[in-house]
Amino acid sequence: MYLKRIELHGFKSFADKSVVEFMPGITGIVGPNGCGKSNITDAIRWVLGEKSAKAMRGETMTDVIFSGSEDRKAQGEAEVTLVFNNEDHFLDFNSNEIEITRRLYRTGDSEFLLNREQCRLKDITDLIMDTGLGRDSLSIISQNNINEFVKSKPEDRRAMFEEAAGVAKYKKRKIETVRKLERTTDNLDRVQDICSELERQIGPLKRQKEKAETYLEFKEELQEVEVSVLVKEISTLSEELKTLNKELEDLENERITNDGAVILDEKQSEELEKKMYALDQEVNELQEKLLEAMNEVSSLETQKVEIDANRKHILETTSQEDIEQKKASMKSILQDAIIDYNDRVKRYNDVKKEKNDLAQKDSLNKKQQANLRSLIEKKNIDIHNSRTEKTRLTDIIENKSGYSYGVRTILGAKNSLSGICGTLGDLIETEETYETALATALGGAVQFIVTRTNDQAKEAIYFLRKNKAGRATFLPIDTMKPRLLRDEAKMLAEQSLGYLGVMSDFVTYDKSISDVVLNQLGNTIVADHLDHATEIAKSIYHRYRVVTLEGDIINVGGSLTGGANKHTNNSMMSKRELERVSRTLDQQEKDLNKMKSDLHTLENEGREIGQLFMQKQMSLAKLELVVTNKKNEYEVAKADYENLTHQSVELDEVIKGTQNNELLDRLNDAKRRRDELKETIQAKRTIRMGYVNENEEVSRRLREHRAALKDVESQSTDKKVAKSRLETEIQNYLLRLNDAYAMTFEHAQEKADMSIDIDKAKDKVRDLRQRIASLGHVNVESIEQYNDVSTRYETLSTQRSQLLEAQDSLLKAIKDMDAIMVEKFSTSFEAINKAFNDVFRYLFGGGHASLKYTDPDNILETGIDIEAQPPGKAAKLHSFSGGENALIALSCLFAMISVKPSPLCILDEVEAALDIANVERFAKYLRSFSDQTQFIVVTHREGTMAECDLLYGATMQEKGVTKLVSVKLKDATEYASS
C-alpha cells in the first residue's frame, strides 16, 4: 500500500484544485520558507482525522480554508482527498484503490467520505488504526515533534510505542470497554435500587391483586348469573306486560263499547220515557174524546132505540088496513140496515187500506235498517283501521319504531347516558305548510341524535359498539358550526320568484341547539314549487340546496330529486298525522253513534209500525164479523120488507129510495169515532206497553252495561297499576343492566342462560353479593399495578442478571485485552529497544542507547525513558544539542519502522538541526527503508534531496497561492548526463 496522490482544493494556500502524484520510495517537497510546502503535511494529517486547530497552525478549524489574497476571494470550503493504492489490501477494505476525503465549510460543518460515500470520522480512524498512520504514531513527524519527543515526559512517549506495538486498537477497545463497564455498573446500581424499591411494593400489591382477582371472579360470576336473572325476569315481565297490554287494549275496547252502549241506552231510555209520557198525554186526551164519543153514541142509541121501538110497535099494532104504514116503517128499518152495512163496509175497506200502507212502511223501514246496519259495519271497519293507524303512529312517536336500531337503543338508554338531548326531528317543529319541505330537507338527519358535547357523543358510540347495537349519527352542540347562505347568494335568491326563505327560518326550537339547526338547515332555500326552485338554483349557480313545499329538491351541483311523496316513519311527520287520525277517529265514532241512534229510531218506528199493523189486522178481523152481522141484519130486513110488499126488492132500488137518516148517520159517525178512539187508545197503550217493556229491557241492559263498565274500569285500574308496577320493575332491571354492566337488553340476551332456575339463581346472586361485600375495600387497579410492577421487576431482574453477566464479561474482556497488550507491548518494546541501539550506533557512529520502563511492574501504564550515550558523552538527555536530540528521535523512529514497517511516513524538516554529515547518514538510512515504507519528506537539505526519487518544488508565483512543480531525479540525472 502507498499514497497514490493527494487532491487539494481551498485548503490553506491551495486556492486552486491541485493534484499531487506520489510514487513508492522517497518523495521530496522543497521550496523556500513560507511557500506552503508544509501545508501538504497538514493536509494529510487533517484528512486522517486531526481535530486540533492548533496542530493545524490555526486558532479555529475554519482557518484551514483558503482565506483569500489580494487578487483572490476567500473560498467557501476546503476539501482534501487522499488516494491510496490498496492492491495488497493492507487496509481492510474491499477495494484496490481507496479515496479518503474530508470537506469543511465556512459554517463549521464538515463531511468525511470514503470512496466518495459519506461516512464517519470513526470509520476513517478504524480503517487506519494500527497501520502506522495514526495521529499518535511517528508516521507523521515534524521538526517540533522531534524536539518534543526527546524532551517529553516518559508517559507522553508511550502513545507512539503503543502505535508501533499495534496495541492502540486494543487500548481503544479497552477504553470503550471500561466506559461500557462504568455505564454497566451505573446501570446495575440503578437497577438494583429500583429492584429493591419494587420488592418492597410487590408484596402488598400481590395481596391487593389476589383480593381484586377474587373480587373480579365474584363480579364476573355475579354478572353472568345476574344478567341471566335480569334477562329472564325482563323476558317474563315483558311477556306479562305484553299480555297485560293486550288485556288493557281489550278492556279499553270493551270500555269504549260499554261506554257507547250506556250512552245509547241512556239516550234510548230517555227517548222511551219521553215517548211514554207523550203517549200518556195522548191517551188521556183520547180517553176524554172517547168518553165524549161514548156519551154521544149512548145518547144517539137511546134515540135510535126509541125510534126502533116505535117502529116495532107500529108493525105490531098496525092493522092490515094500515099496511102502507107498516111498509113505510119496514122500509125505514131496511134503510137503516143498509146504511149500517155500507158504513161497516167502508170502515172495513179503510182499515184494510191502512193495513196495507203500514205493510209498505214496514218493508221500507226494514230496508232502511238493513242499509244502516251495512253502513254501521263499514264504519266499524273504518274505526278499526283508524285505531290501528293511531296505535302505529303512537308507537312511532313513543317507541320510535320507525327509527334505526342504534337510534332506538340510545334513546332507550337516555337515562343512563349523559348529554342525550334527543333526535333532531323531535327537537324542532314547523307549521303544516312547511312540514313536507322540512322532512325532505332533513332526510336521514331527522334521526340524528343531538348531544351536548363531543365527548358525550363518543361515550354513546362506545356504548353502541360495546353492545353491538347498531350505528347512529350524533350532532354535538359544542362542535357544530352554523352553515349559512353567503350574502350575495341570499340577495340573488331573494330577488327570484317563488323564494320563501331559508328552511331554518320556518322551524321553532330551543336556542341551545341553534348551531345544530343552522348547521343542518341554515343553507337550505325554500321555494313554492319546482319551476321557481329551478330558476332560484340557476341564479345561485347551484351552490346551495333548494327544496319545494311539495318535497322536490334541487341538489348542490344541479341534480334533481322528486316524485310522489311517501309518508316517512319518523315522529316529526307522525305527530301531525296522529292529530289528523285522532280527529278522523273522533268524527268516525260520532258518526257511528249517530248511525246507531238512527238505527234505534228506525227500530222503534219499525216496532210501532208492527204494533199498528197487528192492531189494524185485529180491527180488520173484528170489522169483518161486524160487516157480516150487518149484512145479515140487512138481508132479514129486506126479507121482511119483501114479504110486506110481495115483491123482490133490489138493494140499489132501496138505496135509491133511501131517505136521509140524520140520526143514523150521526150514530154511525159517533160509533166510528168511538171505535177509532178505542183502537187508537188500545194501539197507543200497546205501543206504550211495548215502550215499557223495551224501557225495562233498556234499563236492564243499562244496568248491565253500567255494571260491566264499572267492572271494566275497575279491572282497567287494577291492570294499569299492575302495568305500572311491571314497567317500573322492567325499567329498574334495564337500568341495573345498563348501570352495572353497561349492557342493552338485546346484548344481554346474547349472553344470558335462559335455562337457569330463577330461584336458585337469585339465591346465588345474594350469596355472591355477600361475598363481595365481605371483601371490603378492593383496589381493582392493583391487578394492573401488580402486573406492571411485576413485569417491570422481572424485566429489571433479567436486566440485572444480564448486567451482572455483562459486567463479568467486560471485566474478563479487559483482563484479556490487558494480557494481550502486555504481551504485544513487551514483545514490541524489546524488539524496538534492540533496534534502537543498533540505529543509534549507526547514526551516531558509536555509543549506545536503550529504552527503559519507568514502572516495570505496570507495563500497561508505564512511561518510556530514553537512555542515550553518544560517543564520548554522558547519558543525560537535557544536555544534548538539538541535532543530537533529532538523531535520538530519528533513531527511535527507524527502530519502530524496522520492527513494524509503516506503509507511509511523512517527515517535515526533521533533519533541519543536523549537520551535513548527519544529514547524509540520515538520508542513506532513509533509503534503506524506502523499499518497505513510502517516505514523503519536506526538506531544504541537499543531502536529503539527493536520496529522493521524486521532487516537488513549491512556489508562490501568485502571492498567497501555492503551486507545485515535480521532477523525477533519475530522469533529471539521465538528462543532465546526456
Query: Per the annotation, does 32 bind a ligand?
Result: yes
Q: Which residues of 415-424 are buried (b: 16+ CB within 10 A; e: fewer)?
A: eebebbbebb
> What gap in Å lies between CA 81 and CA 4, rounded to an integer?
11
Residue 196 amino acid letter: S
In this prediction, residues 926-942 reach a mean pLDDT of 87
**All three cell numbers of 563:** 316524485
> What gap in Å lies between CA 384 and CA 377, rounded to an integer?
11
> What gap in Å lies between CA 196 and CA 793, rounded to an integer?
9
Question: Which pLDDT band holds residue 659 (cuts at 50, 70, 90)?
Answer: very low
> What gap in Å lies between CA 930 and CA 907, rounded to an integer?
13
Looking at 96-105, 299-308, 962-971, which range is the least confident one? 299-308
pLDDT reading at 669 higher than 80? no
Q: Report the mean per-residue pLDDT for the chain.
A: 82
Give ∠ CA 600-604-610 in degrees, rounded to 5.
140
Question: For residue 11, what are the β-bridge partners?
Answer: 14, 65
Query: Per the annotation, does 39 bind a ligand?
Result: yes
Report the percentage of the chain scoring pLDDT > 90. 9
Q: How many CB atoms lie within 10 A of CB 12?
A: 25
The whole-number pLDDT of residue 660 equals 45
The whole-number pLDDT of residue 411 equals 83
- The burial class, CB within 10 Å (0-12 / 13-18 / 19+), for 960 is middle
pLDDT reading at 698 higher than 50? yes
Q: Under a CB-based contact definition with an 8 Å cutoff, are residues 664 and 340 in contact? A: yes
> What gap in Å lies between CA 448 and CA 426, rounded to an integer?
10
In this prediction, residues 519-532 reach a mean pLDDT of 91
The whole-number pLDDT of residue 333 equals 67
The whole-number pLDDT of residue 976 equals 40
pLDDT digits (tens, 9 = 90+) for 10-56: 998 898 888 999 888 999 999 888 888 888 888 988 988 888 888 78
End-to-end CA distance of the chain: 34
> What gap in Å lies between CA 188 and CA 396, rounded to an integer?
71
Domains of the chain: 1-133+909-923+934-978 (3.40.50.300), 270-393+589-735 (no CATH), 403-568 (1.20.1060.20)
> What gap in Å lies between CA 801 and CA 561, rounded to an integer?
75
DSSP secondary structure letter of residue 423: E
Query: Per the annotation, does 37 bind a ligand?
Result: yes
Query: Per the annotation, does 38 bind a ligand?
Result: yes
pLDDT reading at 642 higher than 70? no
The whole-number pLDDT of residue 977 equals 43
The whole-number pLDDT of residue 845 equals 83
pLDDT digits (tens, 9 = 90+) for 738-782: 777 777 777 777 778 888 888 888 888 888 888 888 888 888 888
In the block, cell 199498528 appears at 612
Question: Which pLDDT band holds residue 79 (cuts at 50, 70, 90)?
Answer: very high
Question: Which pLDDT band holds residue 77 (cuts at 50, 70, 90)?
Answer: very high
The whole-number pLDDT of residue 651 equals 45
The whole-number pLDDT of residue 513 equals 92
> What gap in Å lies between CA 745 and CA 736, rounded to an integer?
10
Q: Please tell me which residue, 399 or 706, carries the higher pLDDT value.
A: 706
The whole-number pLDDT of residue 729 equals 86
Q: Under a CB-based contact definition with an 8 Å cutoff, are residues 695 and 209 in contact? A: no
pLDDT digits (tens, 9 = 90+) for 846-900: 888 888 988 888 888 888 888 888 887 765 555 677 788 888 888 888 888 888 8
Residue 474 amino acid letter: F
> What gap in Å lies between CA 769 and CA 760, rounded to an integer?
14
Give ∠ CA 633-635-639 in degrees, rounded to 5.
115
> What gap in Å lies between CA 268 and CA 695, rounded to an integer?
8
Closest CA to 941 of 912, 907, 905: 912
> What gap in Å lies between CA 410 and CA 465, rounded to an integer?
11
Report the percentage of the chain scoring pLDDT > 70. 89
**All three cell numbers of 446:** 331527522
Q: Under a CB-based contact definition with an 8 Å cutoff, are residues 658 and 339 in contact? A: yes
The whole-number pLDDT of residue 415 equals 76
- The burial class, CB within 10 Å (0-12 / 13-18 / 19+), for 395 is middle
Q: Under a CB-based contact definition with an 8 Å cutoff, are residues 164 and 132 in contact? A: yes
The whole-number pLDDT of residue 978 equals 39
**All three cell numbers of 791:** 413485569
Q: How many CB atoms lie within 10 A of CB 325?
A: 13
Question: Which pLDDT band holds residue 114 (cuts at 50, 70, 90)?
Answer: very high
Measured between alpha carbons, how far is residue 396 from residues 187, 255, 727 in Å? 70, 25, 19
For residue 966, what is the enclosing H or E element? strand 961-968
pLDDT digits (tens, 9 = 90+) for 403-425: 777 888 888 777 778 889 988 88
Query: Per the annotation, does 33 bind a ligand?
Result: yes
**All three cell numbers of 33:** 520558507
**All three cell numbers of 92:** 481492510
pLDDT digits (tens, 9 = 90+) for 418-459: 889 988 888 898 888 888 888 888 888 888 999 999 998 998
The whole-number pLDDT of residue 181 equals 84
Give ∠ CA 356-362-368 in degrees, rounded to 5.
140
> What gap in Å lies between CA 429 and CA 400, rounded to an integer?
17
In the block, cell 325482563 appears at 234
Question: For residue 5, what are the β-bridge partners?
Answer: 21, 83
Strands (E), 355-476: 420-423, 429-430, 449-451, 474-476
The whole-number pLDDT of residue 975 equals 44
Query: Per the annotation, does 196 bind a ligand?
Result: no
Measured between alpha carbons, how far is residue 738 from residues 417, 427, 741, 764 in Å? 9, 25, 6, 21
pLDDT reading at 615 higher than 80? no
Q: How many CB atoms lie within 10 A of CB 342?
A: 17
Q: Under a CB-based contact definition with an 8 Å cutoff, are residues 432 and 439 in contact? A: no
